[in-house]
Chains A and B, each alone.
Chain A
């Protein structure tokens, strides 16, 4: 009997298989819920390869972090893309060709996002929409591969204009997301008029830095300085460690009465709880994520009362098209739509216009067409790009809102 056929060894082998199986299961599950997860399809079409007017389907790629701190944002982006592709396929596709959507979860990993971008480009994607939380990596890949990155590419701002609001945009990035420069400018305009000292606590990514830079720029233009300005990683992505007490006490020491907490919604909620415990009576300002869904208000509950942020004016007073979209979204996904879903939807609709205008799916032609779109009637407003303006949302399109805990609504600031 060969040694490896002995019963004892079989038992040992079976035992050895267990941890291997556990590791394989871990990797499989991780793949399902994070990096490699994705999907494809005509999303409502009658088949990915069947075109109503012949020709192969047009592939649109999407990279979105559907897990991690911004998981709900990524999921909304995927949902918005699915609805757009379904709409296009139900209305003749693009230039008579069906549209196919292929999306991947980047798990908020820049490395993964870059790999997925390349994978989608290699598969023939004409443009990539996303990603909401790995924008700089996507922007770099778009530049390198010379394929348009559209939609919610991070939150605009420094991701699109790496050298500041007055600098040239990255040529291959067309951002329809909630531009941090716009939110920062809008909030700063209010704070300048109403705050006796403004502190800014932000995360150290382009997201937080973008908001901080816009606020600082507005204060500099008004000849004022921020009372406190610091980047923190505490609580980032909900991995709370030593808490926010030291930052709160430092802000209190400056005498600032207002604080813009440019962190994730859950970290903002932790901040208001800690500030309350420290007896700090700050007026809290938010960012574009604060009121995009109910995460912050749901966690902070009554302590969110009075928080000031901004919403797209189109969100505050939705038109018929947005109302219809929201109703369909709710019916299809069982959850309310968010601006990230709507911006992603807009980006794919705008891509159709760019391709039809260019009469080509060649990336260079599509890029050129994007640079000259104006007056596009989107869900998020009337949108357009120019060669020097690659974000669609500016401060004029925003309405300041305040959270009312009694009605659990964000209401316009009077």
Chain B
């Protein structure tokens, strides 16, 4: 139970970062490699506001807003120009990595390289559940992760904007031809991705404190979660995060204290070998075998 709860709490953070990757990819087919740094930005801004003596709530809102705005800016400054030049260019790999470096170096210049305090929130309040001890902050991470996932799926399926995103994801030229503003939807997707990373940051900040170099770790683990869950659906990314969190915790406990360094990569290699489109797709195909004959393979998604 300890492994499960601790793993789910960590996995929810990975899942939020991974969902951000998936949302941006879903609409633009671009992986934003600055996603982890957006998590860091939310933490740093929230910590700075709090340390300035302002209310924690204001810090949280400011942190989330910063992550969302930065997410939108990543698209406008580092992705859109590249895609405008050539839709099939992969220069966004370099440009989003460049933004990641800028954000990290910028945060270190502004706030210094050393960890700063973060509002403790619920992290000093332990709770015992079926013999396991976790903090309410970890429980909050699990609850928020689930709530965000549910809200996002409702938004995606039930709102016009969500359906617009699905249309653009399926065929951007066609969506544009019928009047969809692909630029605005893409900006919104990147901002939403930043917001998701920011939520992860606010949830994990009391545990990690505020440090300019946090983004890399969470970016990598979020990406691994995305690979495990599959890039096709944000829900899969969250599932990948939860699986990764629990298995990493298990590895640290049952193998050794450094196992979580390499174990996630082992998992992702195995997953990619067995089911290249992610665990969720594999589960779906196992569950509904009759669809296999009727529908194209998930790998044959329209570009």
Contact = CB atoms under 8 A, between A and B. Distances in A.
A27 B209 contact: no
Contacts of B102: 22, 25-26, 29-30
Nearest to B5: A245
B239 to A, nearest CB: 18
A140 B108 CA distance: 29
A197 B81 CA distance: 61
Contact of A19 (B91, B133, B204, B261): B91
Contacts of A274: 207
Nearest to B101: A26
A277 B124 contact: yes
Interface stretch (A43-51, A149-157, A231-239): A231-239
Contacts, number: 172
B120 to A, nearest CB: 8
Chain B interface extent, by class: 35 or more
B95 to A, nearest CB: 4
B114 A12 contact: no
Given A33-B109, A34-B105, A233-B261, A19 B94 contact: yes
B124 A276 contact: yes
A246 B133 contact: no
Given A26-B101, A270-B208, A234 B252 contact: yes
B216 A25 contact: no
Nearest to A232: B257
Contacts of A72: 112-114
A204 B258 contact: yes
A33 B258 contact: no
Nearest to B204: A240
Chain A interface extent, by class: 35 or more
B207 A270 contact: yes
Interface string B230-261: 00000000000000010011001100111011
B108 A71 contact: yes
A122 interface: no
A414 interface: no
A289 to B, nearest CB: 11
Contacts of A25: 98, 102
Contacts of A69: 113, 213
B84 A15 contact: yes
Nearest to A294: B114
Interface string A66-86: 111111100000000000000
Contacts of A278: 126, 133
Nearest to A279: B133
Contact of B252 (A19, A23, A27, A246): A246
A68 B221 CA distance: 20
A298 interface: yes
A243 B208 CA distance: 9
Given A19-B95, A233-B258, A269 B248 contact: no
A26 B260 contact: no
Contact of B115 (A230, A250, A266): A266
A22 B209 contact: no
B209 A266 contact: yes
Interface string B76-87: 011011101100
Nearest to B115: A266
Give the most central of A68, A245, A298: most B CB within 10 Å.
A245
A22 B80 CA distance: 12
A19 B92 contact: yes
A5 interface: no
A233 B248 CA distance: 13
A273 B113 CA distance: 21
Contact of B207 (A15, A243, A276): A243
A331 interface: no
Contacts of B94: 19, 23
Contacts of B209: 238, 266, 269-270, 299
B214 interface: yes
B184 interface: no
Contacts of A295: 114-115
Contact of B248 (A30, A242, A279): A242
A143 to B, nearest CB: 29
B27 interface: no
Give the most central of A12, A243, A249, A273: most B CB within 10 Å.
A243
A295 B134 CA distance: 25
A250 B256 CA distance: 11
B57 interface: no
Interface in A5-40: 12, 15-19, 22-23, 25-27, 29-30, 32-34
A68 B115 CA distance: 10
Lowest 5 CB-CB distances: which A-B pairs, in order? A71-B113, A239-B217, A26-B98, A266-B115, A19-B95
22 contacts: A15-B80, A15-B82, A15-B84, A16-B81, A25-B102, A33-B108, A33-B109, A67-B108, A232-B257, A238-B213, A239-B216, A240-B217, A241-B260, A242-B249, A243-B10, A245-B6, A246-B2, A249-B253, A276-B124, A277-B123, A278-B133, A295-B115
Given A22-B78, A27-B101, A266-B209, 5 more contacts: A33-B105, A70-B113, A71-B112, A234-B258, A299-B117
